[in-house]
């Protein structure tokens, strides 16, 4: 069962580029490295650097494998990372205040 989400602003996630990356990963069970790179508009090295920062704190898991003979690097948000992201979203919602219907 899912843990209750407590609002917790996350400075690491909130950096603009990492927010984009984590938001992409949050919508997916896993995402291809190239998909993230092309979606966010980063070079391979720039993305690797961002992912390393997230991996160091245990927010993402990076797996290198093959699909057929083609190497493929896939990234997924860890449980810890997903919880941190949900807490960050809750913190943003808290800053905004009550939901406004559109």
Partner 1 sequence: MHEDMRRDQAVHALDEIRARHHQVLTATVIPDWFWSAIGALMVVFTGGVESRRPVAVGVCGTVFVLGLNAVIWVVVLRNRAGIRNRYLGRSGFGLIFGFAAVLVAVGLAVGFGLAASGFRWPATAANAVVAVLLAAGGPVLMRRLRRLMVARADATLDRS
- The residues binding partner 1 (CB under 8 A) are 9, 11, 14, 16, 19-20, 23-24, 26-32, 34-35, 39, 67-68, 70, 89, 91-99
- Please give the distance of CA 80 from its chain centroid, rounded to a whole number: 11
Our CB check for partner 1 shows the closer of 28 and 53 to be: 28
Tell me the closest approach of the beta carbon of residue 82 to partner 1, in angstroms.
10
By beta-carbon proximity to partner 1, the closer residue of 45 and 97 is: 97
51 half-sphere exposure, CB direction, 13 A CA radius? 26
Residue with tokens 């943003």: 92
């Amino acid at each position: 069962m899912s843990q209750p989400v407590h609002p917790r602003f996350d400075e690491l996630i909130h950096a603009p580029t990492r927010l984009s990356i984590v938001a992409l990963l949050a919508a997916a069970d896993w995402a291809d490295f190239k998909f993230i790179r092309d979606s966010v508009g980063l070079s391979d090295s720039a993305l690797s650097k961002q992912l390393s920062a997230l991996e160091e704190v245990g927010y993402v898991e990076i797996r290198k494998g093959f699909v057929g003979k083609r190497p493929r690097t896939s990234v997924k948000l860890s449980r810890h990372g997903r919880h941190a992201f949900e807490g960050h979203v809750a913190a943003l919602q808290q800053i905004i205040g009550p939901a406004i219907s559109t």
